[in-house]
Structure 1
Amino acid sequence: MVKQIRSTIRLGAIASLQVGLLAMAIPSSPTLATDFNQFNVCARELRSVGISPEESSAACAGALKPKDLSICVLRIYERTPILAREALDTCFRVRQPVELSFCVAEISQETKNPNNSQVLENCRLSLIPKRFSQCVVGLTREIDLSPAAAMENCIDAEDFPRELFPTFE
């Protein structure tokens, strides 16, 4: 019994020593601490794509999830020809900005000559942006449809038709 206690104490001491050495090896810098502040990350990322300091501060301060807002703007800016300012306006107006950015990027990259303003607006209006983008991309790949026609069909599909799903009264 005494041997087990001594063994446990030794293992605990060795583990504590390893954790202490690891902690000393990690540099502590102010920038490392600020990377965990999502408002800081948001402002830095929005500024990196040319959003003014005033707009960046207002957008990040007003966002429910500032880091998600900046991820949305960055993804749209980097993967589409849409300007960062236009992306910011749209990303700020949705509940799921990361999902919106996937929707916009997928439709923009996977369809031929989409109207980017229409893509932004339809992805914003969609209740399920990922499903919406899959619908648009899938229809344009398999059927000779323009991206505009596919978006119109897919956005309408999110409203359940009464003929197929009548109300039971």
Structure 2
Amino acid sequence: MSLNRLLRGLGVFPVSLGLGLFTVPVVEARDWNQYSVCVTQLQKFNVSGDNAAIACSDALIPKELSECVSMIGNATPIDGNNSVNACFQVRRPIDLGNCVADIYNAVPSLATVDPDTDTEEINLLTLLNSCRTSSRPGFYSECVIATAREVTDMDPIRAMDICLSAQDFPRSLFPAYNE
């Protein structure tokens, strides 16, 4: 009797599993194409279709390029074209996007605007370029955030310079390495 019940249970299982497969949503082929995703995302941040197509086709991993631009575009007012150029020039675009977004959100004085000059744009481009130049964007953003917060009257641009120069090999500590 228990064998009969077991066999009936096994027979029902494949039927219920098979019916479950029909509930999977149908996804269009273009949704799986990382180049399509990349171009679409870049265009959302005012990158022209031609520039988006060129950037995505040349990118090593197009989804990471577009994710980097999206992270920067969602967190800052940085122009999409500037973001594409920076994200394209690094090995780890996601780290660059995190670096820019983290510093911008944590250091409010970066967004201050001087009515006589376009200070905000200069600060934002400096932020973008310093994160791009950094060899370790995650540690760099932590350094900038801590330095700007903890040191009284520290200009955020000065904090970026200090943290960027700290990543260089300390030749003064190891003079024999200079040879």
TM-score using structure 1 length:
0.86
1:45-60 to 2 correspondence within 5 Å? 45-60=41-56
Counterpart amino acid of residue 89 in structure 1: N
Alignment of 1:2-21 (within 5 A): 13-21=11-19
2:38: which partner in 1?
42
Give, in whole Å, the separation in 1 of the partners of 2:157 and 2:2.
72
CA contact (8 A) 2:100 2:131 kept: yes
Q: TM-score of the superposition, structure 2-length normalised?
A: 0.82
Say whether the 8 Å CA contact 2:45–2:79 is kept in structure 1.
no
Moved more, 104-113 or 83-92: 104-113
2:99/2:140 contact within 8 Å kept: yes
2:107 aligns with: 111
CA apart distance, 1:25: 1.3
Any stretches of 5+ residues in structure 2 without a counterpart?
111-122
Tell me the equivalent position of 2:96.
Answer: 100
| Letter matched to residue 22 of structure 1 | G
Q: How many residues align?
A: 165
**Partner of residue 21, structure 2:** 23
Q: Percent identity?
A: 36
CA deviation profile, 1:91-114 (whole Å, cap 9, x unmatched): 111111110011111111111332
Q: C-alpha separation between the residues in 2 aligned to 1:119 and 1:47?
A: 23
1:125 aligns with 2:121: no
2:66 to 67, 70, 76: 70
Q: Does 1:140 align with 2:138?
A: no
Point out where structure 1 has 5 or more consecutive residues left out of the alignment: none
Rounded to whole Å, the distance in 2 between the matches of 1:136 and 1:27 is: 45
- For the 8 Å contact 1:112–1:147, the answer to whether it is kept is no
